[in-house]
Amino acid sequence: MKQPFKRINLTMTKQTILLLTCLFSSLLSFAQEAESPLLFVETESFEETGGWKIDQQSFDVMGSSYLLAHGMGRPVPDATTIVTFPQTGKYHVWVRTKDWAPYPKGPGKFQVLLDDQPLETVFGASGSDVWQWYYGGETDIAQKETKLSIKDLTGFDGRCDALLFTTDDSYTPPQEPKVLMDFRRAQLGLTEEPADAGHFDMVVVGGGMAGTCAAISGARRGLNVALIQNRPVLGGNNSSEVRVHLMGDIDKNYYPKLGRIVDELDNGDPGNGNPDGDEYGDERKLAVVEAEENISLFLNTHVDQVEMKDGEITAVIGRNIATNQEYRFSGELFADCTGDGTVGYLAGADYRAGRESQDETGESYAPEEADNFTLGTSNLWASVELDSASSFPECPWAIQFSDEYHIDEHKADWQWETGFGNFNTITEAEQIRDHNLRAIYGNWAYLKNHKQDKYARNALAWVAYIGGKRESRRLLGDHILTQMDIENGVMYPDGLVTATWTIDLHFPNAENSQYFPGEEFFAATKHIKVKPYTIPYRCLYSRNIPNLFMAGRDISTTHVAFGSTRVMRTCGMMGEAVGFAAALCRKYESNPRGIYENHLEELVDVISEGILEVQK
Amino acid sequence: MKIFLTFLTLTFLLGWLDKAPEEKAFEVYYPIATGDSIRIDVNMLYDKQGFPEAYFCHVKTPVCKEGLCHLLVVDLYWDLLGNFKRYELPPTAPLTKFDHEEFSEADYAKLDKILADKRSLLGENAVEDLVDGSSERVSQEVDAVTGATVKAVENTVVSGAVYSTYALWHLVNGEIAARIPGHTDSLFDQSLLEHFLASDNYRYHYYALDALTEKQYATYMPQLMQIIDRGSIFVARYALNKIPDAIYADPQWQLVITEQFPKADFTTQQLLLKRLQSVPVSGESLSILAQQLDQLSEQQLQGVLRLMIDNQASLREDAVDQIVQLVHHANPIYAEQAYKALQQLSVTHEQEKVR
pLDDT of residue B58: 92
**Residues of chain B with C-beta less than 8 angstroms from the C-beta of A413:** 155
**Do the Cβ atoms of A404 and B129 come within 8 Å?**
no
Maximum distance among all Cα pairs of chain B, rounded to whole angstroms: 96
Whole-angstrom Cα distance, residue B15 to residue B88? 9
| β-sheet bridge partners, residue B62 | B71
B10 pLDDT higher than 60: no
SS3 content of chain B, % helix, strand, coil (to 5): 55, 20, 25
pLDDT of residue B20: 58
Question: Beta strands A38-42 and A351-352: pairing type?
Answer: unpaired
User: Which residue of B lies nearest to A517 if distances are taken between CA atoms?
Assistant: B267
**Residues of chain A with C-beta less than 8 angstroms from the C-beta of B295:** 104-105
B203 pLDDT higher than 90: yes
Tell which of B79, B135, B297 to mutate to test the A interface (max A CBs under 10 Å). B297
**Do the Cβ atoms of B299 and A102 come within 8 Å?**
yes
**Residues of chain B with C-beta less than 8 angstroms from the C-beta of A128:** 297-298, 333
Q: Is A454 near chain B, with CB under 8 Å?
A: no
Whole-angstrom Cα distance, residue B355 to residue B350? 9
Query: How does B48-69 read in b/e, with b if 16+ C-beta sit within 10 Å?
Result: eeeebbbbbbebebebebeebb
CB atoms near residue A528 (< 10 Å): 18
Tell which of B125, B134, B234 to mutate to test the A interface (max A CBs under 10 Å). B234
A602 pLDDT higher than 80: yes
- Using N-to-C axis directions, what is the helix angle for B162-173 and B105-116, rounded to 10°? 40
> What residue type is A199 in one-letter code?
H
DSSP structural state of residue A566: T
pLDDT of residue B157: 80
At B155-169, the pLDDT tens digits run: 778 877 888 888 889
> Do the beta carbons of residue A218 and residue A577 sit within 8 Å?
no
Whole-angstrom Cα distance, residue B336 to residue B260? 28
Compute the average pLDDT of residues A586-598. 98
B→A contacts (Cβ < 8 Å), by residue, are: 113, 119, 121, 124, 129, 150, 152-153, 155, 202, 232-235, 265-267, 269, 295-301, 330-334
pLDDT of residue A6: 38
Compute the average pLDDT of residues A111-133. 96
Reported ipTM: the value is: 0.83
pLDDT of residue B140: 32
> What residue type is B135 in one-letter code?
S
- Cis preceding-peptide flag for A270 (omega within 30 of 0): no
**Do the Cβ atoms of B233 and A402 come within 8 Å?**
yes
Whole-angstrom Cα distance, residue A405 to residue A601? 58
Alpha-helical regions (H) of A280-353:
282-290, 342-347
**Do the Cβ atoms of A104 and B296 come within 8 Å?**
yes
Whole-angstrom Cα distance, residue B88 to residue A311? 71
* Closest-CA residue to A410 (of A389, A437, A383, A429): A383
Where residue B264 falls among pLDDT bands split at 50, 70, 90? very high
pLDDT of residue B153: 63
B141 pLDDT higher than 60: no
Contact pairs from chain A to chain B, CB under 8 Å: 69
At A157-168, the pLDDT tens digits run: 999 999 999 999
pLDDT of residue B66: 66
| Phi-psi group of A387: left, alpha or beta (phi > 0 → left; psi -120 to 50 → alpha; rest → beta) | alpha
B128 pLDDT higher than 90: no
Where residue A598 falls among pLDDT bands split at 50, 70, 90? very high
> Do the beta carbons of residue A6 and residue A296 sit within 8 Å?
yes
Q: Which of B121, B124, B202 sits opposite A404 (nearest CB)?
A: B202
> Do the beta carbons of residue A416 and residue A439 sit within 8 Å?
yes
For A522-554, what is the HEC assignment?
A: EEECCEECCCCEEEEHHHHEECCCCCEEECCCC
pLDDT of residue A83: 97
B3 pLDDT higher than 60: no
For residue A71, report the phi and psi dihedrals to the nearest 5 degrees: -110, 5
DSSP structural state of residue B34: T
What is the rounded average pLDDT for all residues in chain A? 92
What percent of chain A is predicted at pLDDT more than 90?
Answer: 89
Strand, coil or helix: what is A426? coil
CB under 8 Å to A5, separation ≥6 — which residues? Answer: A197, A296
Where residue A95 falls among pLDDT bands split at 50, 70, 90? very high
pLDDT of residue B133: 47
Whole-angstrom Cα distance, residue B312 to residue B345? 7
CA-based R_g, chain A, Å: 25
* Closest-CA residue to B202 (of B244, B234, B240): B234
At B316-332, the pLDDT tens digits run: 999 999 999 999 988 88
CB under 8 Å to A327, separation ≥6 — which residues? Answer: A8, A194, A195, A196, A197, A298, A301, A317, A318, A319, A320
CB under 8 Å to A278, separation ≥6 — which residues? Answer: A240
* Closest-CA residue to B239 (of B221, B254, B252): B221
How distant is the alpha carbon of residue A362 from its chain centre? Answer: 33
At A354-403, the pLDDT tens digits run: 999 999 999 999 999 999 999 999 999 999 999 999 999 999 999 999 99
Whole-angstrom Cα distance, residue A37 to residue A166? 6
Is the Cα dihedral B140, B145, B150, B151 positive or negative? negative
pLDDT of residue B116: 86
Question: Beta strands B131-138 and B145-149: pairing type?
Answer: antiparallel
At A551-567, the pLDDT tens digits run: 999 999 999 999 999 99
**Do the Cβ atoms of B333 and A126 come within 8 Å?**
yes
A26 pLDDT higher than 50: no
CB atoms near residue A109 (< 10 Å): 20
A270–chain B nearest CA distance, Å? 15
A527 pLDDT higher than 90: no
At A193-242, the pLDDT tens digits run: 899 999 999 999 999 999 999 999 999 999 999 999 999 999 999 999 99
pLDDT of residue B100: 76
Interface of A with B in 407-446 (CB under 8 A): 408, 413
Burial class (CB in 10 A: 0-12, 13-18, 19+), B281: buried
Strand, coil or helix: what is A337? coil
pLDDT of residue A35: 59
Enter the pTM of the model: 0.87
> Do the beta carbons of residue A163 and residue A79 sit within 8 Å?
no
Burial class (CB in 10 A: 0-12, 13-18, 19+), A369: exposed
Where residue A36 falls among pLDDT bands split at 50, 70, 90? confident
Q: Which of B232, B297, B332 sits opposite A102 (nearest CB)?
A: B297
B296–chain A nearest CA distance, Å? 5
CB under 8 Å to B109, separation ≥6 — which residues? Answer: none
Length, in residues, of chain A: 616
* Closest-CA residue to B266 (of A375, A84, A476, A129): A129
Whole-angstrom Cα distance, residue A378 to residue A521? 9
Interface of A with B in 517-536 (CB under 8 A): 524, 526-527, 529
pLDDT of residue A19: 32
At B221-234, the pLDDT tens digits run: 999 999 999 889 99
CB under 8 Å to A129, separation ≥6 — which residues? Answer: A98, A99, A100, A101, A102, A106
Compute the average pLDDT of residues B64-80. 84
